[in-house]
Amino acid sequence: MAIPNLFDPTLERALPLSRGADLRFSVYDDTTKPPTSWPMGTIGIVEIDHGAETLRFDAELVEGRLDFLLDSEKTDSVPATTSSNKVSWRLRIAFAEDPTTELPVYEGPVYRGRHG
């Protein structure tokens, strides 16, 4: 008999970075059909850990979606995740009514595509 999780685990996704290229993406609340807008005051945070340094990128709330810009000037120094290089990233969301409580959405390794 399989034992179910107490709560849904954070989704694991690779973060695709390329040297010299910014990464732009949006996050929608797709827990409903159609997706609902994030409420005013929602905060989105992406953090990338490598070594002793943590890079932080804050989302901009635009028309109910969280828009992220991961600037290549900051991310070009981030290596790909390997068995000997444990680079990781995570995306968290906090809501205006309780900004000290953050909901983890995605986490995982960093991937370097054919351009980086």
Give long-range contacts, CB 8 A cutoff, 24+ apart: 55-63.
59/27, 63/37
What tens digit of pLDDT does each residue of 9-66 get?
888 999 999 999 999 999 998 888 888 899 999 999 999 998 888 999 999 999 999 9
Kindly report, residue by residue over 61-114, the tens digit of the pLDDT: 999 999 999 999 999 999 999 888 889 999 999 998 888 888 899 999 999 876
pTM, 2 dp: 0.86
- Residue 116: its pLDDT value, please? 47
Query: CA-to-CA distance for 57 and 47, rounded, in angstroms?
Result: 6
